[in-house]
Amino acid sequence: MINPCESTYSLDATTETLELKVVDNNNARILLYHANLYGYDDELVTQFKGTLELMPGTTVIIERSGTANPTLNLTNQGTKVGILYDQEGNRTDIQLGDYLDIIYTSFKDSLTDKGHNLLFNLDGFLKVGKNLNRPNIDEIPAILRTGYVSVIGRSLISRTSYEGGKQQLYPGDLVTFCHNHKTLKDSISNKGFGLAIIDEKPGITVNYRINANRTRVFKTGPKQENSSYDFSVSMISQITMDRALQGFAMVLAAIVTLINIATFFLDFGMYSIAKKEEQKSNQNKKEKNE
């Protein structure tokens, strides 16, 4: 009753970096617009326009510091990261390996000034933020800026939902979601869904939800025992936050109270009648004896 139970967690954040692990073939595609693509050692194509279909097992890291051009890094150990399609949706002849860097060039001029956004479907497992223990002067730092994680509960006795607590996130936090499942099948069935938006605003806007047992937040600094904490809810907590269940419990308690009151008066009435009958019987016996 007090251990963390599986709940729906909703993440709303502004971040400069996120990491998505694709766990199944969901036909998810990334929009590429004025994008340069690089392999390990060579440039594959410049100013590419089209889409990239992600393969299962691919890890995608998206970064955008401030209003700079966004960059993507894709890896998939032992197999290709995805398949490229042109603007008409036809498969290209460009062969991708297990590593790919994508740089969007002239992003502001080509998209945001025209009112267009870059949208990324977040279908899989997500990490948001990055710990910066030793900042590098040659590296543009990309961190989580702000946000919060909330628990969305579903009533045990109705179809209504409720917000069961909220955890504030701070600059430099790293957020992950933890499961108690051990098999890939269970992991796929509990993957998360969401959306990342890159527009004229600095960084990346993220909305993501997932069924998990707890949220784990790592704080910036040395990795010590107190450098992270878990945000979770237990069955007892869910019961105390379920307004519909509380209302039902109050009605049930009122009914039980009324039944107890009615039973008390009924028993009292029966006792009074029995007492009067006893007194009447004793009076009759006394009169006969006289």
Top-confidence residue, 136 or 131:
131
pLDDT in tens, 230-281: 776 655 555 555 555 555 566 666 677 777 777 777 766 676 666 666 666 6
HEC readout, 55-80: CCCCEEEEECCCCCCCEEEEECCCCC
The pLDDT of residue 1 is: 44
pLDDT in tens, 167-198: 899 998 999 998 776 566 556 777 899 999 99
> What is the dihedral sign for C-alpha 173, 179, 183, 184?
negative
Six token digits for residue 61: 């890291």
Distance between CA atoms of residues 175 and 202, nearest Å: 20
Mean pLDDT over residues 191-217, rounded?
A: 90
pLDDT in tens, 73-100: 999 987 899 999 999 989 999 999 999 9
Mean pLDDT over residues 21-43, rounded?
A: 87
CA-to-CA separations, 24 to 53, 76, 78, 84, 180, in angstroms, rounded = 12, 13, 16, 18, 19
The pLDDT of residue 11 is: 95
Residue 30, pLDDT > 50, answer yes
* Number of Cβ atoms within 10 Å of the Cβ of 82: 20
> What is the dihedral sign for C-alpha 12, 212, 232, 161?
positive
Q: What angle do CA 126, 127, 132 make, to 5 degrees?
A: 165
Residue that is written with structure tokens 């939902």 in the block: 161
Residue 71, pLDDT > 90, answer yes
